[in-house]
Copies of this chain bind each other. A is one copy, B any other.
Amino acid sequence: MSGTTNHLRAGVVGFTGYSGAELVGILKRHPGATPVLVEHRAQTADEAPVFDDGTERRPLSAEGVAGLDVVFLATSAEVSIESAPMILKAGVRVIDLSGAFRLRTKANYQRWYGAEHAAEELLAGAAYGLPEFYRDKLPGQKLISNPGCYPTAANLAIRPLVEEGIFDKAAGIVCDAKSGVSGAGKKPSQKTHFSEAVENFSAYAVQSHRHVPEVLMNSGLDEAEFSFTAQLLPLHRGILESIYLRTREAMSHADLAAVYARHYANEPFVRIYPEGRFPDLRAVQQTNFCDIGFRTDPQTKRVTIIAAIDNLVKGAAGQAVQNMNLVFGLEETAGLL
């Protein structure tokens, strides 16, 4: 239950989903943790694996989670809001991968998630688990809110520019985001039906995605300065965001590289590309890296930034394990390189 524990027992609720299954896979390879499957509901026959690998299973209950060091909630916001208080009360830390505890106020949650928040009392104490910004606040935390997939890439790319006052606020920042279909989860729908999504590409939640407030809160942008569109790529995993802005002063590639270096030179999971190179999804799939490439145009001051992550790893399960490592005082990269 602390950094002195030799080996963590880490429960995973929602282990049949894409993020949950990714989590179990990472934890199996982790030198300092072992996954425990925590069953929120009975599995159907279809979900049962053909070969049982002997991973321990427990029910989602106070007794079920007793003795675990941490429980990951790879569930919907509704299930997280319902389960987190019980788990915390049982004295077990929670790392929540849903959007339940990412916003700070009930009103904001109501606006973007369209529902009452039934565990309002936890909002203030939840730590936003983006280690590159909030690493110092994580050790010992009881409730970690794991960032959304889109905001992880966007914040890592944008925040240094806001902090250093580099960008032209009058022009604003555009973030054109594209995600693989796994971002929509495992539940079938018309939009994610194979025959609808293949050979197709579409925008959704144009200027209205619930991840927008997460970017604003953590990057320091105002709502009026930020345009965001989410789009569905016909592939399984990966997010690429193309970010457009103008700088106040003319900047060369080296100038902007220096900005990023000041923020990320020692970050194990942020890679800044040299001039003329840009990340594609292949570069980050199955990794916990956030890769960032950019082009500046000193004459017009326009900058284009390309940021890529694997939505299931740095955008979900990998970052959750990175957070676990920090909460419990393990090596930050354990199980992730």
Contact = CB atoms under 8 A, between A and B. Distances in A.
Nearest to A28: B337
A76 interface: no
Given A172-B246, A193-B186, A271-B51, A281 B206 contact: no
Contacts of A246: 172
Contact of A18 (B172, B176, B195, B306): B195
Interface string A223-242: 11001010101111110101
B302 A201 contact: no
Interface string A304-315: 101000000000
Q: How large is the interface on A (under 10, 10 to 19, 20 to 34, 35 or more residues)?
A: 35 or more
A282 B203 CA distance: 12
Contacts of A18: 195
Interface stretch (A55-63, A64-72, A292-300, A326-334): A292-300
Report the copy number of this chain in the oligomer: 4
Given A50-B273, A206-B295, A295-B207, A193 B188 contact: yes
A194 B3 CA distance: 41
Contacts of A297: 207
B201 A280 contact: yes
A235 B170 contact: no
Interface in A250-293: 271, 273-274, 277-283, 285
Contacts of A201: 178, 233, 235, 238, 240, 280-281
A200 interface: yes
Contact of A206 (B50, B223, B227, B278): B278
Given A171-B170, A194-B194, A304-B206, A199 B242 contact: no
